[in-house]
Amino acid sequence: MTGRTSALPMEVSSDIKLDSTEEKILKDQISFIERKESYTTLYRFATKFDWILMFIGLVFAAAAGAAMPILSILIGIAVDYYTNFQRHTINSSVFSGGINYVSLINVYFAIFIFVATYISVATWVYTGERIARQIREQYLRAILRQNIAYFDEYSSGEVTTRITSDVHLIQDGISEKVSLTFQYIVQFIVSFIVAITLSWKMTLVISYFIPFLAINSYLMNKFNTIFTKRSLDFYSCAGTIAEDVISTIKTSAAFGAQKELSNFYDSYLANARKEGYKKSLLNGFSIGIMHFGIVATHGLAFWFGSTLIINHELSPGQVTALSLAAAAGSKIFGTIDRVPSINIDSDIGDKPENVMGSGKSTIKSLILRFYDPISGGIFLDGRDIKSLNLTWLRRQISLVSQEPILFKTTIAKNVSYGLIGSIYENLPDKKRREIIENACKMANAHDFIMNFPDKYETMVGERGILLSGGQKQRIVIARAIIKDPKILLLDEATSALDTQNENIVQNALNKVSKNRTTIIIAHRLSTIRNATKIFVMDKGVIVESGTHKELIDKKGFYCKLVEIQQIKQSLEAEEDFNRLSPFITSLKDDFTELFTIKNEDHHVLSNKSLISSRFNQKSDIEMGLENNYHFTVWELFMKILSINKPEFLILFTGIIASIICGVIYSIFAFIYGNIIQVLTETGDTLFHDTTFWALIFLVLAVINFFAYFIQNFALGFSNEKLTERIRSMSFASILRQDISFFEEENHGVGVLASHLSLDVTHINGLAGFRLGYILKVLATMFFGVIVSLIVGWKFTLVCLCSVPFLFGAGILHVEMISGFHQKTKKAYEYSAQIVCEGVDNIRTIAALTREDDLWKIYHHLLDEPMRQGFKNAFLASITFALSNSIYFLVDALAFWYGGILFINNEYDLLKIFTVHTAVMCGSSFAGRIFANAPDMAKAKSASATIISLLERVPVIDTWCQSGEKFKTVKGHIKFSDIHFHYPTRPGISVLRGLNLEVKPGQYAALVGPSGCGKSTIISLVENFYQVTSGKITIDGLNIAKMNVNNLREQMALVSQEPSLYDMTIRENLIFGCRPEQNITQNDIEKACREANIYEFIIKLPNGYDTRIGRRGIQLSGGQKQRVAIARALIRDPKILLLDEATSALDSESEKVVQKALDAATRGRTTLAIAHRLSTIQHTDVIFVIKDGKVHEHGTHKELLKLQGIYYIMVQEQHLGELNS
């Protein structure tokens, strides 16, 4: 197939009329119904074993929850002993016995709480890990079964975010926090029962606030869910952008577009931040109301309790017990449930879909059932392919695409993926290796593979980045032919190969095409001369068909296209091309494609299958820093705090509010001690004094409201800014890194994109609300100790002796969690990388029917996190339970020693209960703070990673302002004895003493076999890498000593694989501008005309404002390349770098664009890589590269006269006589 393709972008042209059924089919392919999942559906993948464990956990959580209200009864009993002894109603012996009994019961409760908390937390942590794993696996399985149109709308970046950040949020909500919440619910219920048992009157009075608290909590959770979902959606979009940009890092680096792309990324972060502001305001108000109610209820309890004491309906101890009891009181599943209209899991026919536009990729996609036509049919051996099992159908077909896709594994593994579903899939390893090597030999890949140190076990890197384009393509061809498919689809299968390899591989393809149906999509007409039948398509309809000779004899479209590609070996070549110019002009607006079918068996595709009636529509992470964990928690905290410096004022306000929240508990302890003292009084004095202290409680409640409101809003506000800033800084820092950074194994796209979302989320463990909580606890403990020491230092010191044990258990818990998290971190990173890679290349995955294989790899990668989760559940839960149970031991000690001091008349009730309450509040909060240990541990690890990234300075630094700069640029490029090997492949020498000179204004071409170093030369001119030895100069300046940005501003790069972004055509073009350029609409249109894309753009409904989808997916390969060429031309570069710039174009477009490029080269230095020799025969100088050196150089005419390597290459590309 040749000619320009015309796939439509997202917008359907207004002249296309569809009926309601067809419109529904179009919408169904990308429809996604948002479902409101209930909380219980989060457990839909729990097994019976999980339910049993969770039930056991809840039983023990309930037991632990019931203990706190019972403790309040014990405190009440103790208060009665104290007050009765002070009133002399009991003697010292009874008092001592009673207090000792209460203390002993507390010890028993400490043991009981330890066991109950351990079992409840351990079981729920373990089941949370198991269920989260199931959710991850089921989500991936659901993603992999979706029809291809789904991925036109939903990106790999979004999928990665969902399977990491979102599932992490789900796991956070179904693990130990559930058992702790259930514990608090039971605690409330039992507290209420205890309260009613002691006094139903007082219980009713102090329960007035419960309905308000319930409504407040409901509304807070409801709106929090809304704001959180919106925020996650914006972060998901940002994740998609990050994934796209990182995967095309060379393009953004070449155009110096890092800042613009960062701004684009930041725009989504800003929207997420605004949703966070709303959530912070809501949380501040709701939490303030809750804490106002808690303190106010205490005041009401004591005031009303005093009236009952006066009436002899309650004792002081019962009032105390009552007051304490009162105070104690979706896209994931939407995706999993989405049933695609084309389903690989379905055993029956599927619902039809449509793909916009037509062309070579459309036909290929229809045959593979990536899409279904909205009318017409595609038949295989007389059967509609919609009636065939989808997996079976795809396993009969092998595909070689224009852009070769390899996976981040070894060469052998990549080739073996072609065996999936074949009779060879389960052969012994030795036999499989023989088959793999034979396939590679047929694809002319075996020799270069054997030259690698690791041979077939060589890692190819992400998307095969460690291999040249030709090497990747040959491995893909080997993968396609290895299983001896019935149908072979070749979409520009040899486009990335040099002439020598093209002929060898083409001969191999011709050989393997025998006894099978072969469909060839081609721009190089030399590859289809021997096809059984050639179809020429224009605007989705067949305009010519026949053999090569028959079509030449017709003197029509095909004949003229062959003439355009004809390489002339004589001095008359230029005259011949000038003779064709009028014809070129006449075809300027044509969109012509060739469709070739080679049928040497009986696998017949009907004409109806080739064209439907609708085709005429115009439509580690290490971050490369192995020592990144040398930071202490304090250092990390201070570094994170410094990032939040612009919000210092509001952050400081939040910190002060947090401290006030803590101080309130110390004041509360003082008031509480006075209340206990007052309750020993009688009559009017009791009523008067309790009224006074109740009003103090009310004032304290109001202060509490404002303190918590300010704390949550201020810290929430500053935390949203921190999150936005860290994401932004991290993304900018990633874009700052040199190219070699992205070629490291631990720096894959999925890993980096995942950490932009997940690690930044984890950093919240050292900031925001958790920072406020930590400060509140520290303030409670500090001021509590101060108050206690002032009131009664002796009692305080004895009570504090347990604090080291409390903190020791807590710190040990944090360290254990941190260790477990660090061990699982890498596995989750790599699994995210696998998901990202799979979804990003979903068409290749589908064509290879690799869905099950990818899922199994992901499944096994989750084994290690599961093992670590098991250890985490049953080891770290010990320290957590210990830190919670020590509270009861402190209480036992306080009662016992307080009794001794009281009976010896050293302390009165005021001192005893002020110190006791202050110390117990501090101990209680200290125990609770370690409930956040998992979050703190993750924050520590994530902060170290992010800080390491932010502080990483690359060798080639685009942020560096120093270095030499051009005053004027002539474009004199010189390579002097250059030796080079890639940083990730130190054992392989690519350039071996290369000497090359391109004089100012020259149009120079680089030709040579695949893997000889041509693209490396382009990369070195751009200063993507540092040379191993030698020197590269431009206008006499050593580029290694130059300012990188100033150097790259003088250049424009057009790569073999065009890189576009999910934005409008206009925005994609503007990215090509230099910083100081003021681009007008006329400049944009001029560049588009020169790139032969203008007419196509203005016919679109939204013109230049048309969004083109991720990586320009809504455009054909040729259209994407022409937009990329326009982006380069708009830059008006002094040096133009063309890496197979016209490789994706059809013959007619190639000639027009090549003519534009030829004109664009005037007045500037041009360095072009070409496999199609027709594109470079008019250049000023041609360099023939082989084995990392220049073997020949000269003009086209001079090199032909040499009859050397170049001459042979020309001979191999020659099409022969037109009428042969």
Residue in this structure with the two tokens 């000497």, named with its chain if needed: 995
Reading across the β-sheet that carries 1165-1169, which strands appear in turn? 1051-1054, 1135-1139, 1165-1169, 1003-1007, 1181-1186, 1189-1194
Identify each DSSP E strand in 492-588 by its residue range: 517-521, 533-538, 541-546
Does residue 443 lie in a domain region? yes
Q: How far apart are CA 964 and CA 967, in angstroms?
A: 9
pLDDT of residue 332: 45
pLDDT tens sequence across 163-216: 766 777 777 777 777 888 788 788 878 877 877 776 666 666 666 677 777 787
DSSP state letter for 379: E
Q: How far apart are CA 546 and CA 557, in angstroms?
A: 12
Average pLDDT over residues 1-28: 41
Does residue 1095 lie in a domain region? yes
Point out the least confidently predicted range of 558-572, 575-589, 982-996, 1042-1056: 575-589
DSSP H or E run through 489 = strand 487-491
Does 310 share its domain with 374? no
Residue that finishes a domain, picked among 580, 610, 640: 610
- At position 110, the amino acid (one-letter code) is A
> What CATH number does residue 571 fall under?
3.40.50.300
Strand partners, 598: 518
DSSP state letter for 872: I
Does residue 896 lie in a domain region? yes
Q: How far apart are CA 469 and CA 448, in angstroms?
A: 13
Does residue 618 lie in a domain region? no
Residue 1122 near residue 1145, CB atoms below 8 Å: yes
Does 988 share its domain with 932? no
* Radius of gyration in angstroms for the set of CA atoms belonging to the chain, rounded to a whole number: 37
Does 379 share its domain with 245? no
Does residue 1220 lie in a domain region? no
Point out the least confidently predicted range of 63-77, 609-623, 1021-1035: 609-623
Point out the least confidently predicted range of 372-386, 492-506, 756-770, 1152-1166: 492-506
Average pLDDT over residues 577-585: 38
Average pLDDT over residues 312-336: 43
Does 653 share its domain with 755? yes
Dihedral Cα 8, 9, 10, 12, nearest 10 deg? -40
Q: How confident is the model at residue 884 (pLDDT cuts 50, 70, 90)?
A: confident
Question: What percentage of the chain reaches a pLDDT higher than 90?
Answer: 9
Does residue 1091 lie in a domain region? yes
Does 748 share its domain with 812? yes
pLDDT tens sequence across 639-686: 888 888 888 899 999 999 999 988 888 887 777 777 777 766 666 677
Sign of torsion over alpha carbons 600, 601, 603, 604:
positive
- Can you list the pairs that 554-561 forms with residues at least 24 positions away whose Cβ atoms lie under 8 Å? 557/3, 557/590, 557/592, 558/534, 558/594, 559/1218, 560/587, 561/2, 561/3, 561/525, 561/592, 561/594, 561/1146, 561/1147, 561/1148
pLDDT tens sequence across 350-376: 322 222 233 556 777 788 777 777 777
pLDDT of residue 1030: 92
Domain that holds residue 946: 39-329+630-950
Instruction: Pick the most confident of 467-471, 756-760, 1048-1052, 1137-1141.
Output: 1048-1052
Residue that finishes a domain, picked among 610, 644, 667: 610
User: Is 574 a residue whose pLDDT tops 70?
Assistant: no
Q: Is the pTM of this model over 0.85?
A: no
pLDDT tens sequence across 472-524: 888 888 888 888 888 888 877 766 566 666 666 677 677 667 777 888 877 66
Residue that finishes a domain, picked among 545, 576, 610: 610
Does 583 share its domain with 506? yes
User: Is 997 a residue whose pLDDT tops 90?
Assistant: yes
Does 897 share its domain with 994? no
Does residue 562 lie in a domain region? yes
Does 921 share its domain with 982? no
Identify each DSSP E strand in 801-864 by its residue range: none
Domain tally, the chain: 3
User: Is 972 a residue whose pLDDT tops 90?
Assistant: yes
Supply angle C-alpha 370, 376, 378, rounded to 5. 50
Does 578 share its domain with 652? no
Does residue 964 lie in a domain region? no
Residue in this structure with the two tokens 């009003």, named with its chain if needed: 695
Question: Could you give the 3-state DSSP secondary structure of residue 1168?
Answer: strand
From the list 750, 738, 733, the residue with the least C-alpha distance to 982 is 738
Q: How confident is the model at residue 974 (pLDDT cuts 50, 70, 90)?
A: very high
Does 575 share its domain with 501? yes
CB-based burial label for 942 (10 Å; 0-12, 13-18, 19+): buried
Question: What percentage of the chain reaches a pLDDT higher than 70?
Answer: 77
What percent of the residues of the chain are helix, what percent strand, and what percent coil, each to the nearest 5? Answer: 65, 10, 30
Does 603 share its domain with 634? no
Q: How far apart are CA 912 and CA 545, in angstroms?
A: 102
Q: How confident is the model at residue 36 (pLDDT cuts 50, 70, 90)?
A: low
Q: How far apart are CA 557 and CA 347, in angstroms?
A: 44
DSSP alpha helix (H) spans, 851-876: 851-861, 863-871
- Mean per-residue pLDDT of the chain: 76
Q: How far apart are CA 1220 and CA 1214, in angstroms?
A: 13
Strand partners, 511: none
pLDDT tens sequence across 148-176: 766 766 666 567 667 766 777 777 777 77
Does 313 share its domain with 429? no
The number of angstroms, rounded, from the C-alpha of 1184 to the middle of its chain's C-alpha atoms is 42
b/e 845-882 (16+ beta carbons within 10 angstroms → b): bbbbbbbebbbebbeebbebbeebbbebbeebbbbbbb
> What CATH number does residue 880 fall under?
1.20.1560.10
Sign of torsion over alpha carbons 381, 383, 389, 390:
positive
The residue ranking higher by pLDDT, 203 or 984, is: 984
